[in-house]
Amino acid sequence: MPLFGPRLPIDRDELDFQLATFKWLTGGFGPVGARPLILPTRDHFPLSRATGEAKVREIFDLVREHAGMAGWPCALQAGASDRPTAVGNALLLRHEGGSAPCGTFRVVDGPDGRHGLITYNPGMERDPPGLAATFAHELGHYLMATAKTDPPGGWDLHELHTDLAAVYLGFGIFLANSARNFSQFQSGGEMGWSSRRQGYLSEGALVTATVIFQRLAGRVPMYAAPFLKDYLRKDLKNADRALLKLAPDMAAAVSAVDLAEYGSA
């Protein structure tokens, strides 16, 4: 890494891991090509009057459609919910320690054959962007479940690969914005603060992966900047400028990775 100038938000080993994973993803599931960068706008998520479970289902169906997986047999159901902790008279704190998972994925048998089953945390019903990130991650699991080869480094690292698979599906902005959240909530007569870590890669890693995704698609990475949290825009700019020096031809850099070194050739 250069001592001066823009610096990647991640170290070189993690960058190499991301490049290897993108090679594995594009080799197994097709090039990034025409996959769009999904944005938190009305173009991708039209305004709706739906609420509660109907709204969750609507977001799920839109994420499946944008991921190109609308035809994949998949059921959705509510899973475990966060349990707020009382810290004062009507003041509650929800935190990541001991909280229910944002979502889960597994393959199950049904009357019509095997299909995917995705669950979501009902406590996220009022966080549509977080739900979109969750569904993209779980659909990444579904995608990877059809892989014919092992991912770089093996399946022990599959959650890291799955975050990158969600970026590959076009949802890098959603994952980066939802990786860490600290916000106020109010429900009925209760109010408090909610803290949650979502996903497995850091915000900087997800921003870097989004730059790689955009470069592989032949698009300008900075197009994502207006849709990221304010403090992540600097990471995006630094990652973009640093990668232009480290890998000016992103497609060639990904192609040059030897997956045999990761035991996944």
Helix (H, G, I), strand (E, B) or coil at 80: coil
Widest Cα–Cα separation across the chain: 61
User: What long-range pairs does 50-59 form, CB within 8 A, spacing at least 24?
Assistant: 52/125, 53/78, 53/125, 55/125, 55/128, 56/120, 56/125, 56/131, 59/128, 59/131, 59/132, 59/135
pLDDT of residue 5: 64
Give the Cα separation of 61 and 67 in Å (integer).
10
- Which parts of the chain register pLDDT below 50? 1-2, 84-98, 182-185, 189-196
Give the Cα separation of 230 and 97 in Å (integer).
26
For the chain, give every domain's residue range.
Answer: 12-262
> Tens digits of per-residue pLDDT, 97-144?
445 678 899 999 877 778 999 999 998 888 999 999 999 999 999 999
- Angle, helices 158-168/203-216, rounded to nearest 10 degrees: 50
> Tens digits of per-residue pLDDT, 44-61?
999 999 999 999 999 999
**Short-list 200, 46, 202, 198, CA closest to 123:** 198
**Short-list 44, 9, 38, CA closest to 168:** 38
Task: Return the DSSP state at 171.
Answer: -
